[in-house]
């Protein structure tokens, strides 16, 4: 058998991790990516996929174990795509995430910047307040969980170490009820069946649950019986919502949502503020570490109390409202209109009167706002993974905004945008990674960009 034929076996020394947390090694100078392997491991692998310049391998056994390796405490870890790093010591994860940011800045952005040690969690378990769980069928049994890594095969979960325990409790009750009531789960291959996803949210502060049932069909089969049963079995349930998504798509939520029973939203808190979280709201999934993140934004801006602050890609207004008590005025911009409505509701909920929110694309709305507000003292940008549109960064520079805090969930686009801002006359301060997502490959970062004195 050729060394590069699918099925060929090799012993490989793992020297690094990819941004997806795949172990990186070499076979005859060709890069090989191996799931469940970490630096310091020596592993026996079988090639599963071969390309011209790289390959992917399946881990068969450990020849030598890395000092940073741990035995996963979750039985689903080898297959489940929810976590990528259950097999790596938590302190080693924090170190790797810092290095991931450092490497992106140097290699992709060409920047020399100080990256601080990653701020981790004292207890990095059961931190998530939201789960999006697909349903399906394996033989006669209904299954519900997360997709197996790299596939759309559902790993049927009996528990989860990163979700709030109430989410797991409700999920297991939903799965059993769907099985016993004969509600047909969705078959994405045939585009048949009714129930596609159970999306579950929990309020950490109130211990209440919202269940969003996503169906292909306009009607939720046996919906009244299902709701009555879940209300009896899970007293913490406060809301059941029906979302309709008839499309052949990987997008979870469809355009039509209605409350079948209970409250329209959950109430949760970050620090001193309360937030109303509606079914489609963007709300950070780790509320404990979110406070750490937002406090860093506050510390970086050092507001005096009379500044006008822009909050771009503001979602439900969480960051802007967190800053409002220390600013003269906060102006939020968000593409999703429902999120803007949430932001306005949250301002009212907290008695905040110095915050305004606008619906629209930041690159389209921002130039108008800059004309209206002649002096912008500071800005916060918290874009999606694709980063900021160059038009946004250019507009901030043209308005001579002196302080810009960039919150990022993607080191690659962070590096690109910081490099662009450097060319526009900004200098990066120390970059602070925050571990919002323990046991996964993801990392959040906060950095203050200030106008260069010699621009």
DSSP state string for 390-416? HHHHHHHHHTT-SEEEEEES-HHHHHH
| Beta-bridge mates of residue 244 | 215, 256
User: Is 409 tagged catalytic?
Assistant: yes
Place of tokens 């969003």: 212
Question: Which has the closest alpha carbon to 94: 433, 403, 445, 447?
Answer: 433
Region of 377 (left: φ > 0; alpha: ψ -120 to 50; beta: rest) is: alpha
Cβ atoms 283, 268 nearer than 8 A: yes
Helix orientation angle between 165-181 and 223-233, rounded to the nearest 10 degrees: 140
E runs forming strands in 87-139: 130-138
- CB atoms closer than 10 angstroms to residue 262: 17
Structure tokens at 255: 């355009």
Judging by DSSP bridges, how do beta strands 426-428 and 403-408 pair with one another? unpaired
Structure tokens at 374: 């002649």
87-120 exposure pattern, b = at least 16 Cβ within 10 A, e = fewer: bbebebbbbbbbebbbbbbeebbebebebeebbb
Active-site option among 83, 160, 314, 409:
409
Structure tokens at 196: 């596609």
Place of tokens 């071969």: 50
Cβ atoms 81, 21 nearer than 8 A: no
DSSP state string for 147-170? EBTTSS-EEE-S--SSB-HHHHHH
E runs forming strands in 208-304: 209-215, 237-244, 256-262, 266-270, 273-277
Question: Which has the closest alpha carbon to 52: 23, 30, 22, 28?
Answer: 30
Structure tokens at 124: 């990095």
Q: How far apart are CA 158 and CA 237, in angstroms?
A: 20
What SS3 state is found at 383? coil
Q: CA of 360: how far to CAs of 314, 324, 355, 395, in Å?
A: 11, 21, 16, 16
Q: Which residues are catalytic?
A: 409
């Amino acid at each position: 058998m050729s060394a590069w034929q699918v099925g060929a076996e090799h012993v490989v020394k793992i020297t690094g991790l990819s941004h997806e947390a795949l172990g990186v090694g070499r076979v005859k100078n060709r890069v090989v990516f191996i799931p469940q392997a970490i630096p310091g491991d020596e592993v026996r692998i079988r090639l599963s996929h071969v390309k011209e310049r790289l390959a992917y391998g399946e881990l068969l056994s450990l020849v030598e174990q890395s000092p940073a390796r741990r035995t996963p405490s979750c039985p689903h870890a080898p297959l489940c795509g929810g976590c990528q790093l259950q097999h790596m010591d938590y302190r080693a994860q924090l170190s790797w995430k810092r290095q991931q940011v450092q490497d992106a800045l140097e290699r992709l952005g060409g920047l020399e910047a100080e990256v601080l040690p990653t701020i981790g969690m004292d207890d990095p378990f059961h931190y998530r307040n939201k789960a999006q769980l697909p349903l399906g069928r394996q033989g006669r049994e209904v299954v519900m969980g997360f997709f197996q890594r790299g596939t759309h095969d559902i790993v049927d979960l009996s528990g989860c170490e990163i979700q709030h325990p109430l989410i797991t409790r409700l999920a297991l009750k939903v799965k059993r009820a769907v099985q016993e009531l004969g509600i047909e789960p969705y078959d994405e291959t045939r585009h048949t069946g009714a129930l596609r996803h159970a999306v579950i949210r929990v309020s950490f502060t109130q211990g209440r649950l919202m269940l969003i049932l996503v169906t292909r069909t306009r009607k939720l089969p046996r919906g009244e019986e299902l709701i009555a049963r879940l209300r009896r079995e899970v007293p913490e349930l406060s809301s059941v919502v029906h979302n309709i998504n008839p499309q052949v798509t990987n997008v979870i939520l469809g355009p039509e949502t209605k409350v079948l029973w209970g409250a329209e939203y959950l109430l949760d808190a970050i620090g001193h503020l309360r937030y109303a979280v509606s079914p489609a709201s963007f709300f950070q999934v780790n509320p404990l570490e979110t406070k750490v993140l937002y406090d860093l934004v506050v510390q970086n801006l050092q507001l005096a109390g009379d500044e006008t602050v822009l909050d771009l890609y503001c979602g439900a207004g969480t960051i802007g409202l967190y800053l409002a008590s220390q600013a003269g005025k906060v102006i939020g911009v968000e593409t999703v209109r429902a999120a803007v409505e949430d932001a306005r509701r949250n301002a009212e909920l907290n008695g905040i009167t110095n915050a305004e929110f606008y619906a629209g694309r930041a690159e389209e709305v921002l130039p108008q706002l800059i004309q209206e507000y002649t002096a912008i003292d500071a800005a916060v940008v918290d874009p999606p993974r694709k980063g900021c549109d160059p038009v946004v960064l250019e507009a901030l520079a043209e308005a001579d905004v002196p302080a810009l805090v960039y919150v990022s969930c993607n080191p690659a686009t962070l590096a690109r945008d910081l490099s662009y801002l450097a060319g526009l006359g900004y200098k990066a301060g120390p970059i602070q990674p925050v571990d919002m997502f323990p046991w996964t490959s993801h990392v959040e970062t906060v950095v203050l960009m200030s106008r260069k004195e010699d621009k």
